[in-house]
Amino acid sequence: MNNTMIKGKKILITGGTGSFGSTMVKFLLDLNPREIVIFSRDELKQFEMRNAYNDEKLTFVIGDTRDYNSIYKALNGVDYVFHAAALKQVPTVEFFPMEGVKTNILGSNNVLNASISQNVKKVVVLSTDKAVYPINAMGMSKALMEKVMISLAREVHAEEWKTKLCGVRYGNVMYSRGSVIPFFVDLIKQNKDLTITDPSMTRFLLPLADSVELVLFALTKGENGSIYVKKAPAATVLTIAQALCELFQYDESKMKIVGIRAGEKMHETLISREEWQRVQNEGNFYSIPVETQELDYDKYYSVGKKTKNDKEGYTSDNTKQLSVNQTKKLLLSLPEIQDELKKLDLLPIKKNNGKVIKLN
């Protein structure tokens, strides 16, 4: 991206102490912004992050997106917003769906409307593959967050606003908190069985750095109401477990199949069959333009478009499937995996011009 877009700008990240926020901050600081506001409700994580960075360009604000006034005040003078605050764990929102509604839908609505009122230049909302054909409460709440963003983007007066709204969707971010890879690593470290839901279940695999690249692409190129997806490979849960067993020299016989849990799919979808009809190829990305219907109920009921449904969309089953060796290579690119292997003196070696060099 063009560094001048960030240089001298004030950026706010909701849920900024999470996995995405921490990675994004590292990247943004190299682009010389004027200020980065970390907006979240976890004072301990803010304390730890403040000490870890010790950078005067970081401002920490305790607040909750559920409270319009707190996010409105924090957005004063902000140029760009990355909206990452959410309840993301499927079981959590299954058991407490109204909490998902309050944070993922109503909280997002507060962020979007406050951004418009404060003349923010652009807001990028972060969504998930679980928002497509959702079968769990978390996915449903994220799908409605997308609909809220799209609805505001195509408001009658949207062209008069100084604020552009767009979104991104991505699948399983590798080694993000609560995801399957750190879960498997923890089980390996405790010498426990690796509990596998279904061996043929597939998941998109996206390193955190790639999620940052996607969000920055949306910031740079994002059109009002559009949603952006990064092309990503996938692997079966069995392949991921086998790759980790080989890297950590763990006994594969300790894998245990437990069956699909409530709220889980065999395969995830980043672009639905219906959305695929209007998708635009953007190199390493796909863009999903906003549907053209205006807020005109007569047109909604009477004007349609003929389509040819010749593809099921973009899923973790029809994207590139990684082998065990390819998955191992991708896992080894993660600093967290390197750190864990280093602790156990298991970091692999590679040959470079005949010399054996340990990866670090």
Return the bridge partners of 193, or none.
none
Q: Is residue 348 part of a domain?
A: no
Kindly report the backbone phi and psi dihedral angles of residue 191, in degrees, each rounded to the nearest multiple of 5, phi listed first: 60, 40
Q: The whole model's pTM is what? A: 0.89
Q: Structurally, how many domains does the chain consist of?
A: 1
Write the burial class of residue 130 (CB in 10 Å: 0-12 exposed, 13-18 middle, 19+ buried): buried
Q: Is residue 293 part of a domain?
A: yes
Q: Is residue 254 part of a domain?
A: yes
Q: Is residue 298 part of a domain?
A: yes
Residue with tokens 């695999």: 205
Q: Give me the domain span that covers residue 114.
A: 3-343
CB atoms within 10 A of CB 61: 18
Tens digit of pLDDT per residue, the chain (360 long)? 667 899 999 999 999 999 899 999 999 999 999 999 999 999 999 999 999 999 999 999 999 999 999 999 999 999 999 999 999 988 899 999 999 999 999 999 999 999 999 999 999 999 999 999 999 999 999 999 999 999 999 885 666 778 999 999 998 888 887 788 999 999 999 999 999 999 999 999 999 889 999 999 999 999 999 999 999 999 999 999 999 999 999 999 999 999 988 778 899 999 999 999 999 999 999 999 998 655 566 665 565 565 555 578 999 999 999 999 999 999 999 999 999 999 989 887 665 554 434 544
Active-site annotation holds for 254: no
**How confident is the model at residue 226, as a pLDDT?**
97
**How confident is the model at residue 297, as a pLDDT?**
60
**How confident is the model at residue 177, as a pLDDT?**
75
Q: Is residue 312 part of a domain?
A: yes
Give the C-alpha separation, 352 to 83, whole Å.
Answer: 42
Q: Give, as one character, the DSSP assignment of residue 234.
A: E
Residue with tokens 């409700």: 41
Q: Residue 241: which CATH number?
A: 3.40.50.720
Q: Considering the candidates 130, 142, 164, 328, report the single residue annotated as catalytic.
A: 130
Six-digit token pair at 140?
């449903």
- H runs (alpha helix) in the chain: 19-29, 43-53, 68-74, 90-95, 97-100, 108-117, 137-153, 180-189, 208-221, 237-247, 273-276, 297-302, 324-332, 335-343
**How confident is the model at residue 320, as a pLDDT?**
95
Return the bridge partners of 124, or none.
82, 166
Q: Is residue 225 part of a domain?
A: yes
Q: Is residue 40 part of a domain?
A: yes
Q: Is residue 170 part of a domain?
A: yes
Helix (H) or strand (E) holding 255: strand 255-257
- Residue 346's Cα: distance from chain center in Å? 30
